Every structure is written in structure tokens, then in C-alpha cells.
Homo-oligomer: A and B are copies of this chain.
Amino acid sequence: MDFSVTVLGISSAVPNSKRNPSSQIVKLHNNFFLVDCGEGTQSQLRRNHFKFSKICHIFISHLHGDHVFGLFGLLSTFSLLGRSRDLHIYANSKLKELIDYHNQFFNNKLTYPIIFHSLIEGKSEVVLETDAYFVKAFPMKHSIPVHGFRFQEKKRLRKIDKSRLDECRIPISEIVNIKKGLDFIKDNGEIIPNQYLTFDVPKPRSYAYCSDTAYYPDMLNEINNLDLLFHESTFCNSDIKRAEETKHSTAKQAATIAKKSAAKQLLLGHFSTRYKDLSLLEVEAQAIFQNTKIAEEGKRYDIKENM
């Protein structure tokens, strides 16, 4: 089962010739979740060969232009391509007003329904859930209301070893319990351990997107034990004053969050254009949290299955 993140933009507010504003695709099983939609996202999607028709869920962290200006073009293109599938948007409720205003202004007749899911300021909640995974929005700390998103697989049922089932004459009615991990107790009281009847399955994987936010340890319980954490790192620690003024994080702070949350890996993004050489930020973070990487646009980061 796929679980990967393709980063489409690593720039903060002002893009430059080589870096795009925020957006990324989280591929979770068969879904292509778009997270944030800065200007140029549709071109970045094209360049990275993502099919527009497969994007059915868009998560917007907050209503700053560098996270939403690409939405107008994308929604318009969906219509021009004749989309009919539902499009779910998860964002602060004000975004709906802006989309409605745009549609009226440009006399857009959307060919598909938008299903808008309002994120409530300061509130943590599961906004999308299936048997296999859920997506949880949680508040962070910025100059305006902002949510991070945790993409979380659920614990899978154990895989039945059919030959053992036959050998031990397990009735069909017991299979559900055995998949859940229970031992089987025969009529004579003999216990057949679940391990004997089933195979191990991969552990649930998780990823969280945290941008934009100041250093905010209050969110640690929302992002514990991640396989991969994307955390904004707009500044170096030498510019911490600027980070505090603008409610952004430094690389050191992002690494501290990764360490405290017991993440397995940290991806840094949302860089100020003042830094031409991003390895400075990488080195700064690695001093706190070794397994840190600078996110690269167009690169896919796979979260591998692990027993």
C-alpha cells in the first residue's frame, strides 16, 4: 500500500525562480491528497505527472496567499477539463466565501460539486476517516488561525495463515476474532496462540504536515511517533527574532519538535528566500535531530511498510 509525500513547493511567502510556494501531494493508499495550494500548484502537478482527476481532497492549512493562490486556477482548470467527481476542501470556513466570490466574479459554472469541510479555529478533529486510515486536523500557532494535518493509517487486521486454520479446524465464525489478534481456545481448553494462526502485518504508518507555525510544543500530542514529519523552517536560528515576529519556526526549533515528538524522520520546508544555500538549515537541524532532510521540489518521499 502506497504512502508517500511529493513536495511541490518549498518557498515561503515570496517565491523565487527555483522555488515554488507551498503545496504537496500525500499519496495514501489510492488517494492523492493535495495539501496547500500556492500559486503555480497546477503547473507543478503537471510537471510531476499527477492526474488532476485523481485529486478529490484538498487540505488548506491557513488563509495566507502563498498557501491558497493556486486554488483559483486549479478549480477553474478542473471545470475546463470537465470534472464531475466531488471535490472535498478542508479549510477555514472563510475560504468558502472567497471561492464563492471568485466563482461569481468570473461567472464560473463549476462542472463538479465542492463539498466544503470547515476547520474550526483552535479545534482538533478527525476530518476524514475510513477503515484503513484517518486524517486529523489540529491547531498550530501562527499570525492567523492555522491547522496542521496528521495522515494516519489504522492498525491492520492480522493476516490469516489458511493452512494452520485448516490444520487446527478453526470454525469460520472465529476468523474475525483471530484477525483481530485473539488466541483460539478449543473445546478441550487447549489454547492455540494467535501467532501460530496468523502472519504479522505492517505497522500503521503516519505523516504530519506542520506549516506555517511558530515553535509550538503544545501540538506534540498530535504528532507523536510519526514516521515522517514535515515541519516549516522558514528561518535559521540566527534569525530567531524574525521568526518570532512573523510566527514562523527556525530549523533548530523544527528539529526540537521532531525530537520531542519521537518522529522517525524530519523534512524541512517553507524557506525564506534569504537563504540561497539551504544546507545551513539542514546542518542546524541535524545537530538536534540527525535524520533531517531539506525537502526537494518534485521529490517523492516514500514511507515504507515496516513489520
Q: Encode contact with B along A1-35: 1 for CB under 8 Å, 0 otherwise.
A: 00000000000011111001100000000000000
Q: A43 CA to B44 CA in the complex, in Å?
A: 12
Tell me if A43 and B17 are in contact (CB < 8 A). yes
Q: Encode contact with B along A90-132: 1 for CB under 8 Å, 0 otherwise.
A: 0000100110010001100000000000000000000000000
In this complex, the interface size class of chain A, counting residues with CB under 8 Å from chain B, is 20 to 34
- Rounded to whole Å, the gap between the CB of A12 and the closest CB of chain B is 10
- Rounded to whole Å, the gap between the CB of A151 and the closest CB of chain B is 26
Chain B's closest residue to A48 (CB) is B17
A63-71, A201-209, A278-286: which lies at the interface: A63-71
Q: Encode contact with B along A39-74: 1 for CB under 8 Å, 0 otherwise.
A: 110110011000000000000000111100110110
Q: A200 CA to B284 CA in the complex, in Å?
A: 65
Tell me if B76 and A65 are in contact (CB < 8 A). yes
Chain B's closest residue to A106 (CB) is B65
Tell me if B65 and A69 are in contact (CB < 8 A). no
Q: Which of A212-255 contact B (CB under 8 A)?
A: none
Q: A70 CA to B69 CA in the complex, in Å?
A: 8
- Residues in B with CB closer than 8 Å to A76 are 13, 65, 69
Is A172 located at the chain interface by the 8 A CB criterion?
no
Is A77 located at the chain interface by the 8 A CB criterion?
yes
Is A191 located at the chain interface by the 8 A CB criterion?
no
Chain B's closest residue to A78 (CB) is B14
- Residues in B with CB closer than 8 Å to A97 are 105
Q: Which residues on A are within 8 Å of B, measured CB to CB?
A: 13-17, 20-21, 39-40, 42-43, 46-47, 63-66, 69-70, 72-73, 76-77, 80-81, 94, 97-98, 101, 105-106
Q: A39-B40, A69-B72 are in contact. List 6 more A-B contacts (CB 8 A).
A: A16-B43, A16-B46, A21-B73, A39-B42, A65-B76, A66-B73
